[in-house]
Amino acid sequence: MGGAVSAGEDNDELIDNLKEAQYIRTELVEQAFRAIDRADYYLEEFKDNAYKDLAWKHGNIHLSAPCIYSEVMEALDLQPGLSFLNLGSGTGYLSSMVGLILGPFGVNHGVELHSDVIEYAKQKLDFFIKTSDSFDKFEFCEPSFVTGNCLEISPDCTQYDRVYCGAGVQKEHEDYMKNLLKVGGILVMPLEEKLTKITRTGPAAWETKKILAVSFAPLIQPNHADSGKSRLVHLPPVAVRSLQDLARIAIRGTIKKIIHQETLSKTGNGLKNPPRFKRRRLRRRRMETIVFLDKEVFASRISSPSDDNNNNSEDLEDERREEEEARASELKADPPVNFLREKVLSLPLPDPLKYYLLYYREK
């Protein structure tokens, strides 16, 4: 499902398109989407499709369309320090973006049916932590994944502030999902062909909101044919941070504040995102139509011939100007500086401690 947003040439263009189409509406969600390149979660031979607004599936590996993930992230109303449970956590792409918002004192758990997908998710998480420059812009709540059927979670498990289910939920399992939530918590799941947001307003009180029409594969029902009894899924314990971890978080936070103050004193402005030198071709849109047909989403742009004629010369002028600006920007484009890394490496500390503060990252 997907196709409601124009394809991008890179991750930033994809996010620009999602913002323009109002799927991404808040700064926290935008920052998380920009920090993690969607293509990193694709197998190499399929990366050409990573920036299209389409779902992708290969064997047991599956990614929902970007417009779905952005609606989910917005609906979850994530805040630092919350607990999150991802049912059908898949590649870990969504869990990692959520972890950037939850911060070091949040809880980030995932349940995935297929053990091979868990291994894939762990590889992608390790790659992100070790190689991504954007990792140092955040304090990360690292996701923990367990293998099992999310319909067999142990009844003595803790409840969560936020829950997402990435498979179609049958009506008979709605109460089961609701009971995973704390009072005040938010559950987002596909229910009866609609992406649905449910807020628990009291011990037995709920508010339900339908977000958009979707088509998800249904939850796989537990199979007890082998043993005749349920295989309970035990979620990871909610562990207290070690003193060593707390020290690393505090030191990194202090260094970031120092960098911010230094930048503020030099420029009079706060830290800004590094400039993106690729420019996106912008076209004026008259009307957007999204059509649901056979559980697929198609998007079309409709404009009248007179509108096109009137704007032809203007479009050509815009294109010429953008090409000139793109050529100029290519001459001055430098890779962004990782200020936190530079600062840590300049400290008068033993090398092992510096590497610990940088999470032993390769870059």
Domains for the chain: give ranges and CATH numbers. 11-222+234-239 (3.40.50.150), 241-263+340-362 (no CATH)
Active-site option among 64, 89, 95, 96: 64
Amino acid type, 5 = V
> For residue 93, what is the enclosing H or E element?
helix 93-102
Q: What percent of the chain has pLDDT over 70?
A: 80
Where on the phi/psi map is residue 2: left (φ > 0), alpha (ψ -120 to 50), or beta?
left
Decide if pLDDT at 240 tops 50. Answer: yes
pLDDT average, residue stretch 231-260: 92
Cα radius of gyration (the chain): 23
Q: Please answer whether residues 357 and 343 qualify as being in contact, where contact means their C-beta atoms are separated by less than 8 angstroms.
A: no
- Of 361 and 207, the one with more pLDDT: 207
Whole-angstrom distance, CA of residue 5 vs CA of residue 23: 9
Other beta carbons within 10 angstroms of residue 269's beta carbon come to: 8
For residue 44, give Cα distances in angstroms to 93, 115, 134, 299.
Answer: 16, 21, 21, 27
d(CA 5, CA 20): 9
**Helices and strands of the chain, counted as H and E runs:** 10, 11
Q: Token pair 């953008």 is at which residue?
A: 322
Name the more confident of 156 and 41. Answer: 41
State how far the Cα of 183 lies from the Cα of 237, in Å rounded to an integer. Answer: 20
Give the distance from CA 293 to its chain's centroid: 27
Over residues 233-240, the mean pLDDT reads 90
User: Which position has the token pair 């779902």?
Assistant: 55
pLDDT at 277: 47
Residue 162 · residue 186 · CB < 8 Å: yes
The 10 Å CB-count burial string (b at 16+, else e) for 288-302 is eeeeeeeeebebeee
pLDDT-based confidence at 296, cuts 50/70/90? very low
pLDDT tens by residue, 248-280: 999 999 999 999 999 888 876 544 454 454 544
The yes-or-no verdict on residue 310 having pLDDT over 90 is no
Sequence-ordered list of residues with C-beta below 8 angstroms from that of 339, at least 6 positions apart, any chain: 259, 271
64 noted as active-site residue: yes
Query: Is 283 within 8 Å of 316 (Cβ atoms)?
Result: no
For residue 15, pLDDT beyond 90: yes
One-letter amino acid for residue 255 of the chain: I
pLDDT tens digits for range 167-225: 999 999 999 999 999 999 999 999 999 999 999 999 999 999 999 999 999 999 987 66
Distance CA 361, CA 301 (A): 44
Mean pLDDT of 14-41: 96
At 284 the pLDDT is 40
